[in-house]
A and B are shown apart, each in its own frame.
Chain A
Amino acid sequence: MNAERYLADVEIAWCPGCGNFAIRRSLAQALAQLELPPHKVVLVTGIGQAAKIAHYVNVNGFNGLHGRTVAAAAGIKLVRPDLTVIAESGDGDLYGEGGNHLVHNIRRNVDLTVIAHDNRVYGLTKGQASPTAPQGYRTRAQPAGSPSAPLNPLALAIALDAPFVAQAFSGEIERTGELIAQAIRHKGFSLVNVLHPCPSWNRVQTFAWYRERIVHLEERGHDPADRAAAFAVATKGGEEIPIGVLYRGERPTFGDVHPVLQGEPLGLRPLPTLHELSPLLAGFA
């Protein structure tokens, strides 16, 4: 399938040179590679520059509240396992305001693909530090530098036993598309943390900065089935930035274990009949 068909022909409100353009292209390539019919995909986003992607891709869209992306996506997937549900937003949305939902939906192991546009800043609100900003990172809101250590989303997800954890770099469109496709195909909760520069607000982590530091895990002999090794990669620190699949495991999904979710999707079931209700109500008489 042609990736172009997934790209909506609308005016795009991202800044020129924004990494979001490349991620949109990677997402379209992944959908094309998997030959997913647009009407069988729901793209759930929150609020932020990244979250506007729901309007720029030709699939169903739920552009909800800031921070609540994963919660809304989980609601959709639980009642409609027949749909491919992708939750996509920025690092502020997914890791800051929405951190609790990320944690608990990994626990639930809802079969979602979460794509985090991680540029380490808040773009839409003009450049404040995000949860992944480096300690000491200076902004107008953090003039003395961000006092807190950055969140490590990869280590968090692996620690919580998310069954698929990967990191991508938006400067590599093909590779990012391939990682997103793997994440969608993998059953259970998948996280793809996509590092991308913000040309407007982040003058430190630029394309060049990333290119000097990224290393590709498949070239390093990393075994994604080894959770301890994956955790070691995620927490190694230092100058190198790992790109690729850190962890790939198997765990029953919420839909596998919940007795109510066997059979027809709840979102498509018919309304109750008198035949069903009468004995229930008679039980109280």
Chain B
Amino acid sequence: MEVVVRIAGAAGQGVQTLGEALARAVFRSGLYLHGELSYHSRIRGGENAFTLRISDRPVLATSAHADLLLPLNGKMLELYRPSLRPGGLLLTDEEVPGEGAMRVPAARYAREDLKLPIAAGVVLLGAAARALGLPPDRLAEAIREVFGDKAEPNLRALGEGYRLGPEPRWTLPPAQFRPGERALLTGGQGVGLGAIAGGCRFVASYPMTPGTAVLEFLAQHGLRHGILVEQAEDEIAAINMALGASYAGARSLVTTSGGGFALMVEGLSLAGMIETPVVIHLGQRPGPATGLPTRTGQENLLFALHAGHGEFPRYLVAPADPADAFYLTAKAFDLAEKYQVPAIVLTDQFLVDSYAVVPALDPERAPAREHLVPREELERIPRYERFALTPSGVSPRAVPGVSEKLVLVDSDEHDPYGRITEDLGIRRRMVEKRLRKGEGLRAEIAPPEVYPPGSVRGKRVLLGWGSTYGAIREAVELLGDGYVHLHLRELWPLREEELRAVWAEAAEVILVEGAATGQLGKLIAGETGLRPGRLVTRYDGRPFTAEEIAHEVRG
């Protein structure tokens, strides 16, 4: 059972707020949902749409079509009416001829009775809730949560909407989970929560969509959780401040998008050289340059992997959904500390801004572990060397000022103490030491997910990474027998053994990627010589849907 609701309006008409309220009410009803926010790069006017899939089973992808459409103005009506499925319902305050449409005089009520024109959207939402068969109390509770002390007129708007709305057209299924068993969050919130769980104490960031969502989330939670969140003067400052803070003992995060990450690249290389942990959240959007600032894409995989001059290990993950964003960001903090490397969490606008219902987050699955050398041990070392040569390549890491041992780091090639050197023998040993850490890191990578589990012999394999997870999963179900979903979450170091097995057995490997050139295919080919047989790509700034993938795969 599934119903897709689409709310569309101009920026400033409250589309996101309405969508969040409806999502919360659906979640409190024990139902699964996926809520996708799509918007133009402007604050007023433009086009905003919130697409909410309501389902009795987990959903992690969006839909091109809608069953219930709420255009908040005439332009949105024109733009989105073709997306309404046959037999769907259109609720709007515009004059609409034809079947399946109902006019709700929302604007007049909001303007004349409430003296609050923006509440027209809530009137329409009330009408929609009635059509959906959603109990009024449940939406009222969500309105209170979302609007806070501005709830009162909006509750009246909601009541009026219920009164004006049509008889229920749908019967929502009973609750599929009990309170506390599931969580409702966006990918951006998942990254932020993962950072808190990972022990983050310092965030420096320059605002850039979609990375800003994480900046704002942590700024709001930082006050309670002891995290300093500072808006830097530019991205170059952000990463250098983060590295300074990390050197001094504070686990640090920067959050940005492709253009900002480009500015950070020299700092990324510095992190590699001074072996100082830092976590970089890179929320992708389409490029080159400023590209489509508020749209989604997966064009930065190879950039994230190869950014930075010189050779040094890094950890690169691409969460599939908001829960993954939580666990993998926490893991990025842990491994960045353990191996003293930069870690990149690669998301995209679709993941960062979309709401999903996922299994409740378990803090015990994301334990923060201490990796600094204990003070007593530090004091026993006669001459502390920050870059001591070790079999694993990992040197005992101390921070300054906790004992009398001095801590020296240098962006130049340096000796084990940290002093600048041009001794080429030391240079060679330092390169090898840094690269050895990559081998330890490789052993931390979990196997990719195969669905349905089991042999892929003779099957067609849809290969994906990151936020395409939900759409590919559903596409495989639509395609039926003979199709398998292979998904990579941890992309570097690349774990090869499962990939080699899949290529050896599968009839065909089809890469599904939100980029024009099939970057994961190039990465795998570079490491293993194996290439995908086909590409299914999307680079128009919109997320994949299952139907589109299935259609393209069928050819």
**CB-defined interface of A131-167 with B at 8 Å, one 1/0 digit per residue?**
0000000000000000000000000000000000000
Please name the residue on chain A nearest to B404 by beta carbon: A39
A44 near B237 with CB under 8 A, answer no
Q: Contact: A63 with B412, CB < 8 Å?
A: yes
User: Cα distance A73–B244 when bound, in Å?
Assistant: 6
A153→B542 CA distance, assembly (Å): 49
- Given A55-B410, A64-B411, A266-B250, decide whether A71 and B420 contact each other with a Cβ distance below 8 A: no
Interface residues of A in 220-251 (CB under 8 A from B): none
Report A50 CB to chain B, min CB distance, Å: 13
Inter-subunit contact B402/A268 (CB<8 Å): yes
**A100 proximity list for chain B (CB < 8 A):** 233-234, 237
How many chain B residues sit at the interface, stated as a range, is: 35 or more
Residue A256 is within 8 A (CB to CB) of chain B in the complex: no
Q: How far is the CB of B364 from chain A (nearest CB, A)?
A: 7
Query: Which B residues are CB-close (under 8 A) to A278?
Result: 363
- Assess the A61–B408 pair: CB atoms within 8 A: yes
With known contacts A79-B245, A268-B402, A60–B237 Cβ distance under 8 A: no
Q: Which of B245, B402, B412 has its CB near the most chain A CB atoms (within 10 A)?
A: B245
Chain A hits for B410, CB < 8 A: 54-55, 61, 63
CA distance A72 to B185 in the complex (A): 34
Which residues from chain A contact B181 at a C-beta distance below 8 Å?
Answer: 285
Interface presence of A272 (CB below 8 A): yes
Most buried by A among B199, B232, B243, B244: B244
CB distance from B485 to the nearest CB of A (A): 27
Given A63-B411, A64-B240, A71-B237, A285:B182 Cβ within 8 A: yes
State whether the Cβ of B336 lies closer than 8 Å to any Cβ in chain A: no
Min C-beta distance of B248 to chain A, whole Å: 4
**With A61-B410, A65-B240, A100-B233 as contacts: A260 and B223 at CB distance below 8 Å:** yes
**B259 → A minimal CB distance (Å):** 17
Q: Cβ of A55: which chain B residues have Cβ within 8 Å of it? A: 408, 410, 419-420
**Candidate in A40, A52, A79, A104 with the most chain B CB atoms within 10 angstroms:** A79
CB distance from A38 to the nearest CB of B (A): 6
Asked whether B183 is an interface residue with its Cβ less than 8 Å from the other chain, the reply is yes
**CB neighbours of A103 from chain B (8 A):** 233
Q: How far is the CA of A50 from the CA of B529 in the complex (A)?
A: 48
Contact A39 B403 (CB under 8 A): yes
Nearest-Cβ distance from residue A164 to partner chain B, whole angstroms? 21
- Chain B contacts for A277, CB-based, 8 A: 196-197, 363
A60 to chain B: which residues have CB within 8 Å? 400-401, 406-408
Among A42, A44, A260, residue most surrounded by chain B Cβ atoms (within 10 Å): A260
A contacts with B: majority SS: helix
Residue numbers in A under 8 Å from B402 (CB-CB): 268
Q: Is the CB of A280 within 8 A of B183?
A: no
CA distance A73 to B243 in the complex (A): 10
Complex Cα–Cα for A13 and B421 (A): 11
B426 at the A interface (CB under 8 A): no
Asked whether any CB of chain A lies closer than 8 Å to the CB of B361, the reply is: yes
| Complex Cα gap A101–B234 (Å) | 9
Tell me the A180-227 residues at the B interface (CB within 8 Å).
none
Q: Which residues of A contact B360 (CB under 8 A)?
A: 281, 285
Interface string of A246-285 (1 = CB under 8 A from B): 0000000000001111000111110110101110111011
| Contact among A39, A76, A265 with B247 in the assembled complex (CB-CB below 8 Å) | A76
A16 within 8 A of B: no
**CB neighbors of A among B374-402 (8 A):** 399-402
Task: Say how far B265's CB is from chain A's closest CB, in angstroms.
Answer: 11
* Cross-chain contact of B244 among A10, A61, A74, A276 (Cβ < 8 A): A74
Residue pair B228, A284 in contact (C-beta under 8 Å): no
Task: Kindly identify which residue among A54, A80, A104, A282 contacts B401, using a CB–CB cutoff of 8 Å.
Answer: A80
- Assess the A63–B226 pair: CB atoms within 8 A: no
B204 at the interface (CB under 8 A from A): yes
The 8 Å CB contact of B196, one of A104, A265, A272, is A272
A35 at interface by CB-CB < 8 Å: no
Closest CB-CB distance, A76 to chain B, in whole Å?
A: 4
Known: A10-B419, A266-B250, A267-B250. 17 other contacts (CB 8 A): A38-B404, A60-B408, A62-B247, A71-B232, A71-B236, A71-B237, A71-B244, A76-B248, A79-B249, A79-B250, A83-B248, A83-B400, A83-B401, A260-B223, A284-B183, A285-B181, A285-B182
Residue pairs across A and B with Cβ atoms less than 8 A apart, 30 shown, are: A42-B248, A44-B244, A47-B411, A59-B406, A60-B408, A61-B407, A61-B408, A63-B420, A65-B266, A65-B411, A71-B240, A75-B241, A75-B243, A75-B247, A79-B201, A80-B250, A80-B400, A103-B233, A104-B233, A104-B237, A260-B226, A266-B250, A267-B399, A268-B402, A271-B199, A271-B370, A272-B368, A276-B225, A284-B189, A284-B361
